[in-house]
């Protein structure tokens, strides 16, 4: 969200939220044993929703678009509805072509920790309360 608050921005935010809610209701809600998770999605110009990243809600997992303090603030501010905690962060059109040249070699940090023995699987599961 670029924070300008124009009518067009609000209209765009409105249809983005509708796309996200529909995707969540049809593809995500009720399909996972733990109800607390974060997801990063991409909505294209044709309003198709793409799941980019999906993780359990907890600091051992790596976030892409929000910091953990931001996510915790969203969660504590909006306990009354599953939709009120939706955080929307948009990328301006002029920045869409920017990408990390080494991005294709990256992976989730939790996978790296598991692979090199810094964290064992049981510790990770306990930390994310899935065990």
CA dist 123 and 131 (Å) reads 9
Largest CA distance in the chain: 51
Residue 28 structural domain: 7-99
pLDDT 10s digits, 31-50: 888 877 778 888 888 889 99
Asked if residue 46 belongs to a domain, the reply is yes
Asked if residue 121 belongs to a domain, the reply is no
Total number of domains constituting the chain:
1
CB atoms within 10 A of CB 86: 14
- Average pLDDT along the chain: 71
Strand segments (E) across 1-131? 37-43, 49-56
CA nearest 47: which of 28, 24, 19? Answer: 19
pTM over 0.85: no
């Amino acid at each position: 969200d670029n924070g300008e608050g124009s009518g067009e921005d609000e209209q765009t935010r409105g249809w983005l939220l509708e796309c996200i809610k529909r995707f969540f209701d049809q593809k995500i809600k009720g399909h996972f044993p733990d109800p607390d998770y974060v997801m990063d999605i991409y909505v294209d110009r044709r309003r198709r929703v793409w799941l980019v990243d999906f993780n359990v809600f907890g600091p051992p997992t790596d976030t892409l678009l929000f910091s953990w303090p931001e996510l915790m603030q969203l969660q504590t501010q909006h306990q009354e509805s599953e939709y009120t905690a939706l955080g929307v962060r948009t990328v301006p059109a002029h920045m869409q072509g920017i990408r990390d040249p080494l991005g294709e070699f990256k992976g989730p940090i939790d996978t790296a920790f598991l692979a090199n023995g810094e964290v064992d699987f049981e510790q990770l599961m306990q930390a994310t309360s899935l065990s």
